Amino acid sequence: MATKFNLPEQYRKYYRSLEPILIKPKTRTYGTVIFFFLVIALFGWYAIKPTVQTILYLRKEIVDKTAVNKKMDDKIQALIMSQMVLDSVQSKLPLIDDAMPTDPDAIDVVKQLRDLAVTSRSSVSAIQVASVPAFTNASASASTSYTIKQDDFPLTVSIEGEYPALSSFLTGLVSMRRTIVIDSIAFTPNKRQTTNLTAPSVQLVLKIKAYYKTP
């Protein structure tokens, strides 16, 4: 048999003062609506949100992982192709180092210019090399870097000889394997020519840039 709940006497006066307010239909309606909003907000935040969030996260993860899988497959195919291409050009790879060495190698450039002058029967009167780093600093970041940068150093070359010889020198310069860029060419009559019997000697002043790879 259920017993009727009785408020203690000390609290009964508060309930009695609230009772007329709670009985009013408008207050009851407002109370229900307010309670509904608060309960839905609380339930939504602590129950619905984490559930839906987990569902969406898992769906997103499936989509992302599928995309990663496809990209990995593409990358593997690309790497296999790259390996094949690399194998096919393996014998030609030293050409790249010849064209653009990893060090400035200024002495080698000067030597090549001198040899070219000898081959083209002209004489080198001066070769001036500006400041060149003795070696490039291969830092630790080089191992993680996937791009190769380039740097250059300027040279000024002064050559004397007959015009055909200088023309041959310039042709040789263009067909040189080492990567260089000619900044300026200046032809001037050679004032030191001794006799008028020989063909006129011309002085050629070249400003060039030689390139090398940097990490």
Partner 1 sequence: MKSDRDLFFISLFTFLTVLSWIFFELIKTTKTSTIAPTINQIITPLTPTLDTDTLNMLGEKIKL
CA–chain centroid gap for 87, Å, is 26
In this structure, what are the phi and psi dihedrals at residue 188, rounded to the nearest 5 degrees? -140, 145
**What binding mask, one character per residue, do residues 167-196 give for partner 1 by CB under 8 A, x or -?**
-----x--xxxx------------------
Helix (H, G, I), strand (E, B) or coil at 6: coil
Distance CA 130, CA 14 (A): 98
Here the tokens at position 113 are 């210019």
Q: How far is the CB of 123 from partner 1 (least distance, A)?
A: 16
Distance CA 44, CA 67 (A): 32
Q: How far is the CB of 19 from partner 1 (least distance, A)?
A: 16
Site for partner 1 in 61-100 (CB under 8 A): 61, 64-65, 67-68, 71-72, 74-75, 78-82, 84-86, 89, 92, 95-96, 98-99
Distance CA 113, CA 116 (A): 5
Total count of residues recorded for the chain: 215
State yes or no: residue 121 binds partner 1 (CB under 8 A): no
Choose between 115 and 183: whose C-beta lies nearer to partner 1.
115
Pick from 60, 107, 199, 200 the residue near partner 1 by CB under 8 A. 60
Choose between 97 and 183: whose C-beta lies nearer to partner 1.
97
Choose between 48 and 186: whose C-beta lies nearer to partner 1.
48
CA angle 127, 129, 134 (to 5 degrees): 135
Here the tokens at position 16 are 């009695």
Helix (H, G, I), strand (E, B) or coil at 210: strand
Distance CA 161, CA 125 (A): 10
State yes or no: residue 14 binds partner 1 (CB under 8 A): no
Total binding residues for partner 1 by CB under 8 A? 52
State yes or no: residue 57 binds partner 1 (CB under 8 A): yes
Choose between 31 and 200: whose C-beta lies nearer to partner 1.
31
Choose between 7 and 72: whose C-beta lies nearer to partner 1.
72
Distance CA 15, CA 8 (A): 10
Here the tokens at position 170 are 């310039």
Distance CA 33, CA 39 (A): 10
Binding stretches for partner 1 (CB under 8 A): 26-27, 30-31, 33-34, 37-38, 40-41, 44-45, 48-49, 52-53, 56-57, 60-61, 64-65, 67-68, 71-72, 74-75, 78-82, 84-86, 89, 92, 95-96, 98-99, 111-112, 115-116, 119, 172, 175-178
